[in-house]
A and B are shown apart, each in its own frame.
Chain A
């Protein structure tokens, strides 16, 4: 992987008793806390599975012209773990017809509830802690209020749920971040190559200071969808098998044709045109 020469490698023999102050291109360390952010963990990519989406309830009798539904937009860990260790705050960009359409949620659970009547695209910007990443990540989600099948009146009990699964990938995490989250349940750490020496694991701190940020006991959690990769893997595997079988068949047929004796080409047919 192309690294500029001035980037640090993970030091062998672990302990950071005398860390080298290596300057990353374009950035200078000012205070000692930021030392860890400049050293990167090579060849390890950290992956945060998330689910983001909306749940919308029809208000029934309490509905008015301008507020027919109550909906919640959120970003949660895919297994309902606390994302606060990775995400610092989330900015939800709502339709301009809302008051203060730019809503900032400073601590987990990263969600926002509103009342309204219209469907629109919500912009979700994830901002990470300083040792994680200084770039924000943008997601978009279309708020659905009305169910697919228009049969009958809407129920106030059954909401319209739209969730999307995705994974945030950090290809080049800083040592500090890695140390902090290597045992965190929200983060997927790949199998480490042999001979890899881990930096000393830091205790899992609650970065946001408030209470727990996981969504395991979230009031809406029985509406959360389950995303299992096993189903898809199975389907993909079977599809691949079919395709591979066809490929084998075609290859056989091609070789048959190639092996066939070529009929004598009538000399005239190539002299024209």
Chain B
């Protein structure tokens, strides 16, 4: 107390008392049975989701009718060839020690290294690059170290690479196997014979691996870019091949496996060429290209359904149109009383349907053009009134009008047109709000039939 005064620490006995009160409360709720509180707290104080140890089992004692003692006894292991006498603690039940081999003896596995006789060496295994002595040493080490070639290479008296050692070992073993076999067929399934060791390939593979491992982040990124580029080229090459238009150039043949960095700039130029060319082509020719490429791809199929063919052709024809336009086409079809998918899709019906869709697209495009021209025209006329930003924004808005434009101007009969006009709450018309500056119009103008 006095110390606290001296130090100037606040005297706050209260919060501590509170903690003491709440903690026992908490603990009495959650103290588990079977294990002490501290041990339980090791797990974070919360019961595990899946109890790995049945807590009630922990305090269980072994069956009391058995007498268990632990004794320090000698043992033998079949894995040891020497007579070394080792001792360990053994659980003895009712005075009977356990029987059987040492439990870890079964893990003492080793490789069957083929040993040749001197005769066999002379007959099959002579090699200009290897002396008999070296080969003998190699085989000894292989047996001793269970074909762990890294260690063998380390221990080998003369300097040899791992690949050389492997090559010598595997080719020698193979030769011996084949020589000893009564007929070639019998050993053909032996792994040594089936898959011979290929030195050059191994050297190459390891080199490539180390290259990949030692790549810097920068190099990795560049590799990814090159591969993506190659993929894009391959894809555009396929698309260009499918199209029958002669004026679409086919990009040069570039394999995706090429890891050379030199490709970089060359790659980027060719796909953009293809794209630019395609974009520059007039909409009608690109539609024709799409159509004929669809036709070609359909002909490639062995069999297809008429409805499938129609879907493909419709997709091709609308490929230049956005989702909004496609929705408008479908709306127009419905207004005209035509099913989006024909009920009787014969060849003739599908052809007519396709043509109708294309014509509707043309119609919508023309409407857009007309709108745009009108807006332009009106903005010119009103230009002298409004401020400059206002006019510029106006012509921009004319393009934006596209967004909510609904073909109310075309009444195809039927109830829908009338109802829709009544439902829509469009903003004011042009005659009511001439040339007001931008900002006042949040939503674009809706065109009425009388506007045209």
Contacts and interface: CB of A to CB of B under 8 A. Distances in A.
A120 interface: no
Contact of B298 (A135, A166, A171): A171
Contact of A235 (B337, B360, B369): B337
A135 B360 contact: no
A250 B366 contact: yes
A263 B381 contact: yes
Contacts of B384: 266
Interface in A97-150: 128, 133-135, 137, 139
Interface string A254-269: 1001101011011011
Interface string B418-452: 00000000000000000000000000000000001
Contacts, number: 131
Nearest to A260: B377
Contact of A128 (B303, B342, B345, B346): B303
A134 B303 CA distance: 9
A243 B412 CA distance: 9
A31 interface: no
Contacts of A170: 302-303
A227 B367 contact: no
Given A166-B305, A235-B338, A273 B389 contact: yes
Interface string A183-196: 00000000000000
B336 interface: yes
The size class of the interface chain A forms with chain B is: 35 or more
A232 B302 contact: no
Given A165-B344, A273-B388, A239 B374 contact: no
A253 B336 contact: no
B160 interface: no
A172 interface: yes
Main secondary structure of the interface of A (DSSP, over half): mixed
Nearest to B347: A47
A242 B352 CA distance: 14
Contacts of B383: 265-266, 269
A229 B338 contact: no
B126 to A, nearest CB: 48
Contacts of A263: 380-381
Contacts of B377: 257, 260
Contact of A242 (B336, B353, B381, B392): B336
B107 interface: no
Contact of B355 (A240, A253, A266, A272): A240
A187 B394 CA distance: 60
**Shortest Cβ-Cβ A-B pairs, 3 listed:** A272-B388, A167-B306, A236-B352
Given A169-B309, A171-B299, A269-B392, 9 more contacts: A134-B302, A168-B304, A227-B344, A232-B343, A235-B337, A237-B352, A247-B363, A265-B380, A269-B391
